[in-house]
Amino acid sequence: MEVVGGERLGGDGGADDLHELGGSLEGSLLAPPRYKMLIVTWLAVFPLLTAFNYALQPVFQGMPIWLRVLIGTTLVVPLMTYVVMPRMTRLFKAWLYPVWSEGGPSDVEIGDDHD
C-alpha cells in the first residue's frame, strides 16, 4: 500500500482522529501530512480567536489573564473540534486527501489493512 504523505488513521484517539472527512468513505483513511493539518488548523484558529477576543474585549477588561484564557479555551476548543474543523476538513478535502479526492487508489480498497 502506498502511503501518500501521511500515516494510517487507527482510531487510537489521537489528534488526527478528531478531524473527520465527513463523507461516505468507510474504513481506514490515510492521515494527511502534519504540515497540511497545521495550516488548516491555523486558518481556522486565527480568525476564530480574533473574532472571539474582539467580541468579548469589553467583558475581558480587568480580568486576570488566566481567567481570560480559561474562558477562551473553554469556548473555542469545543467549537473547533465539533463545528469548525470538520467543515474545514471538508473544505480542504482535495488538498488534504488528494488520493481519495481522485476516486481512491486503484490497487487499494478502503479498509485494507496492509501497509
What would the pLDDT profile of 26-52 be if each residue is shown by its tens digit? 455 688 999 999 999 999 999 999 999
Residue 23: the pLDDT is: 47
Burial of 65 (0-12, 13-18, 19+ CB in 10 A): exposed
The model scores a pTM over 0.95: no
Residue 70: the pLDDT is: 94
Amino acid at 51: A
Residue 98: the pLDDT is: 85
Cell numbers that stand for 49 in this block: 480567536
What would the pLDDT profile of 63-92 be if each residue is shown by its tens digit? 999 999 999 999 999 999 999 999 999 999
CA-based diameter of the chain, in Å?
A: 60
Mean of the per-residue pLDDT values for the chain? 76
Residue 62: pLDDT over 60: yes
Contact, 17 vs 37, CB < 8 A? Answer: no
Task: Specify the length of the chain in residues.
Answer: 115
